[in-house]
A and B are shown apart, each in its own frame.
Chain A
Amino acid sequence: MTVETKLSFDKAYVEQFSKDRNEPEWMQKFRLDAIEQAESLEMPKPDKTKIRNWNFTAFNHDFKTGEAVSSIKDLPEELRDFFDEDKAPENLIIQRNHSVAYATLRDDLKEKGVVFTDIHTAIHEHADLVQKYFMTEDGVSVSEHKLTALHAALVNGGVFLYVPENLEIETPIQSIFWQEDPEITLVNHVLVVVDKNSSITYVENYISHNEEHETVANIITEVYALDGAKVAYGAVDNFAAATTTYVNRRGIASRDATIDWALGQMNDGNTVSENVTRLVGDNSTSQAKAVSVGRGKQTQNFTSVMHHDGKASDGFILQRGVMTEGSAAIFNAIGKIEHGGTKANSEQESRVLMLSEKARGDANPILLIDEDDVTAGHAASVGRVDPLQVYYLKSRGLSEEEAQRLLIHGFLDPVVSQLPIESVKQQLRQVIERKIN
């Protein structure tokens, strides 16, 4: 079957798409309103990277279901790397293309009111919560720019996680978004709402195989940590070379809430990534840690933002990037303290390791402070592997390659070690290994 790459999406298309999904009227209206805005809104402007010639807007948007599996043992080898075989995940959704292939959630969590389901089901069954939190002014709003509006109009995948008050869930909750079909586009939305004084660990993986066929991924995550809630959010993105990715992960932390990110940004294609944490409530905290390895000719732009509104809010950004071959990347780190955010602390550290003469990389630290009684700091560096470190390791018998390999893994370890699931951590190490070889 030949697929159709649509150059533009109009109201008629969006209306039909929504009807085909049997969506409630509010959702259809939401989509139609968004597509109207998309026409006039501008593209985002990531600092220091030109994306004018990148294609984010013309793609094949067909809805494609993937075959369901009855057991994770029926999955192909490469997907089984994401789990510990002996200890099957208890809370897991595997999305294959645009539909759910496998889903499980512990019974006791279901009984306590935890919702973990695909976004399509959530729109039908949890409309009140979805309407309250899905792409509002507090989170990622439809009108931010063309790609957020396009996302709202065309969302075709994702999950919804709701955790009611006073639940401490230690077992990780895991999603895998597997683009089995190389020709489809993923417009994926992850909505996580953790109610007061509850805590969770959530980990997700994105994977695709389209080395040749050009396509698009438009990913938005919204995480709400209500008063006193704690969210540990881990992710490994691994879209193949021919996917152009826009990924926006946003956290909104209320009073005394914590949102910690550990992001392995391992796409092989051009990528614009935003990770914005809004520390809205007093005493809210966040650590946003991210690693990336660039290879081939890919260009990437990473912007990590700590936005302090709350008093005594505490934010820390840690970015580590390794650039190989002819890759290019910009690492923007922004600490913004609003007027009224007294006693806030905004720290950041961005380090880029260059492994090739042809690679380009830059770290761009920014502090924007509108309040006097605060603390803030930044560190940034762009450098090469230290020849004396290599000498030291070689003097113990390690080969040049092995020494380099160890130093690169060591450089990335402060972020990699933060990923909460052991098998996902190992899988990320494997991806890093592939990318640096």
Chain B
Amino acid sequence: MDTFAALAHGMAVAVQPMNLLYALIGVFLGTAVGVLPGIGPALTVALLLPVTYKLDPGGSLIMFAGIYYGGMYGGSTTAILINTPGESASMATALEGNKMAKAGRGGPALATSAIGSFVAGTIATIGLAFLAPWLVDFAVRFGPEDYFALMCVAFVTVSATFGDSPIRGLTSLFIGLTLGLVGIDKLTGQARLAFGVPELLDGVEVTTLAVGLFAVGEALYVASRRHHSEEKLEPVRGSLWMTKEDWKRSWKPWLRGTMFGFPIGALPAGGAEIPTFLSYSTEKRLTKHPEEFGKGAIEGVAGPEAANNASAAGTLVPLLTLGLPTSATAAMMLAGFQQYGLNPGPLLFAERPDLVWGLIASLFIANMMLLVLNLPLVGLWVRLLAIPQPWLYAGILVFATMGTIAAKPSVVELSMLAGFGVLGFLMRRFDFPIAPVVVGLILGPIAESQLRRALAISLGDPMTLLQSPISATLLGIALIALLAPFVLKGLGRFKANED
């Protein structure tokens, strides 16, 4: 299908008054929840999933698009004003942004991050609209063995390649894969790891896991180290608007950030940390004001924020075209699709073009709404940030458990939520990454069924994995990505000794 025609059709879906209202509610709720300290976009989406239970799929996905971008914007506000990035992707923003806020330039920092997010989000969404049909054409030729190989690449890159420690990343992934085994095996109807508990036969709910790990785990973690530091909210002083000089210093970092963010996000490698830090170091190198870096340079906010948003749109490319979530947020989006029995991928483009293109068009609209809404509403968001910590976390936990209570009010499900909370606390304490668990849970069963399908077609011959050129290439990439960090670690140690 012609991209322009498809996009125009999507726009027609998105501008229906009800859908515009859903997008507006999504943007508003997403920002309001995302702005709360310690809550990143993934958790924002997980917490707000129950709100969309009763909507039709189209409206709910459009609301999701708004929640997604709103959550991202809210996260950067928190990073700038109180230096608690909700996720690692806003860490680079916090570096300079919080310094700017301390120097009384919080307004321009928020403005450059909002406008940069808009610019990057718009360009990246255009990229998504043009790249997606092309990838879909390619993906329809994928056999089950190719899908399996692709998921192997995602497993490795999400857990091992880009983290601090490949062993800890892979440990997280395998915990997720183990959780993915729980429940009735779809092909033979036998129960695995259910231990005779009927509630476990349906498997582990992605939302229960995500809310447990992110919300309950975070609350426990923050509570355990409350005696260490007191967060300080920087008031927004002075003008909200950027000066001419600010604009001049911002527009290039926005574009460069987008160039880093979108391609890296679109690769099945996941994570917005790499592009944001790449952008940060690039801006630091190219700036005409190197003396300001570390003291609040506007380039250091503009670039990483743009990279962050562009990579968020980028992760939608593998998610929508291949059904491959490469970040915790994308995994939550996939869970949102699955609650309607929809599986993103080439088939969805063919069967429900109105839905997919409506979603893509809504991304444009959500972006626009954020720009118009958020700068004037910044006072409201700041007031949300000023909620005292005890009430804030108590409220977060109430809201987090409410989602589970609404979905499945059973003692087993709530105990699992609490158990995942303890797991999330321990993982934070011992520095295991969390996103691979969620990705493992959601992708593990899909990878297994693709592998079993491939082996059934080949009459049990495992060589089928290497006979397909696509699958063989992808498995090769996965192997390299798995071994690279171990090889590079040796080099890194060498370098560290040199310093």
Q: Do A and B come from one complex?
A: no
**Chain A residues packing against B (C-beta within 8 Å):** none
